[in-house]
Structure 1
């Protein structure tokens, strides 16, 4: 088995809001990979005393521990329990009903000798390479399918779309949101490689069009996870003035890549 993990902040002056982990149970007969992308809130109140990095560290830590220790519990239920555990750590000073309470996207994959289970919530990605080399991108496309006009302002998003029916969902303080994730189970023999990417890394495909998802996985295998992030940074810098590809997006975003050859 080969694993590789890279996580880099978009701005070295700010904490990285992503979280990533790879865990191998003591039995040596399986494993888990996880990538979270903390949602940067707009300037203004969030109802919470804690930062996004505080939240992603705790949710990611809980999710990693539960995914490894409860191998017989489905991923959606594992995420639900991790969200509930994290919510309990906030304390009475936090309004967890606030639409901007700390939250994150989630990618999780877990394998055993028999199966590979996966879960994707919001706009991070999981690439799955089959035994024959075919690459499938597991995506939660609800956010990307929304009309651009509905995303015009933060107020509109919070009032109508964020963690609401007909909108999109992230892991925040409501454990039931885990049931909205894209999930599935594959035979272990059918999966050769897994790659989790936060949206700072998926820019290689989705914004800069350097190649498709299969090309992206091949690039990481041959050049390494750090090389993918470095290439994204080069493309971001080259587009910083013209905004041909970035448009209104931030120039640099936190970028995480988790690679596992099974």
Structure 2
């Protein structure tokens, strides 16, 4: 089995808000990956004493432990339990009802000799490559389908679409959002490789249109996750007139996890 992980902050003077892990049980049977993209809050209050990296480290650590140790528990329940555990760690000190309480997007995959199960919540991406080379993207595209007017300002987003019916959902403090995730299970024999990307790395496809998802996974497979991130950084620097990035960050945290069976 080949596993690779790259995670690079968008700015060297700011902490990386992403989290990534690969778990391989001592039994040698199966494994799992966890990728989180912490949601950068606005400059206004969040109701929380803690930073986004604090949250993603807590949630990511809980997910990594549970996804490996509780192999009979569905991924939606794993995510719900991890959110609840993380919320309990700061419920006494923070206002977890605030719309900008620390939160993250989620991509999970867990494989056994028989199956590959997956879960995606919000705009991280999971790619599955079949034995014949076909690449299937697993996407939660609810943000992309929203009217631009609903994303005009942080205040509008928070009051109308963030973790609300008809909007989009992230892992924050409510375990119930786990049921909103995109999930599925496929036979292990139908998957030869998979990759999980935060949106900072997925920009190569989604923002810059440098290739499609099959091209993206082929690049990661051939040259490694680090090359994908380097190419994203090159494209970001070249986009001086913000033709592709628009209102997006010039450089975003970028994480890629690759697993090949």
Q: Secondary structure at the match of 1:219?
A: helix
Partner in structure 1 of residue 207 of structure 2:
207
Q: How many residues align?
A: 261
Corresponding residue of 2:126: 126
Query: Which residue number corresponds to residue 26 of structure 2?
Result: 26
Query: What's the CA shift string for 1:50-92, capped at 9, x where partnerless?
Result: 0000000000000000000000100000000000000011141
1:95 — aligned with what?
95
Q: Which secondary structure state, in structure 1, belongs to the residue aligned with residue 58 of structure 2? A: helix
Superposition pairs for residues 1-262 of structure 1, below 5 Å?
1-239=1-239, 241-262=240-261
User: Cα offset for 1:247?
Assistant: 1.2
Gaps of 5+ in 2: none
Moved over 4 A (4+): none
Structure 1 residue 25, shift from structure 2 partner:
1.0
1:91 & 1:46 partners in 2: Cα distance?
A: 14
Query: How far apart, CA to CA, are the structure 1 residues paired with 2:232 and 2:33?
Result: 22
Q: CA deviation at 1:176?
A: 0.6
- Per the TM alignment, residue 131 of structure 1 is displaced from its structure 2 partner at its CA by 1.4
Aligned-partner SS, 1:119:
strand
Q: Give the Cα separation in 1 of the matches to 2:244 and 2:19.
A: 26
| Aligned equivalents of 2:252, 2:68: Cα separation in 1 | 29
Q: Quote the RMSD (CA, aligned, Å).
A: 0.6
| C-alpha distance after superposition, 1:159-199 (max 9, x if no partner) | 11000000000000000100000000000001000000000
Query: What is the TM-score with the length of structure 1 in the denominator?
Result: 0.99
Alignment deviations for residues 194-249 of structure 1 (CA, whole Å, 9 cap, x no partner): 0000000000001111100000000001111001000000000011x211111111
The 2-side partners of 1:97 and 1:134 are apart by 42
Residue 154 (structure 1) shift: 0.7
Query: Secondary structure of the equivalent of 2:192?
Result: strand
Distance in 1 (alpha carbons) for counterparts of 2:84 and 2:160 = 24
CA distance in 2, matches of 1:92, 1:247: 39
Q: What is the SS of the residue equivalent to 1:95? A: coil
Deviation digits for residues 2-61 of structure 1 (CA, Å, limit 9, x no counterpart): 000000000000000000000011111100011100000111100000000000000000
* 1:128 to partner: Cα distance: 0.4
- The alignment's TM-score, normalised by the length of structure 2, stands at 0.99
Q: For residue 98 of structure 2, give the secondary structure of its aligned residue in structure 1.
A: coil
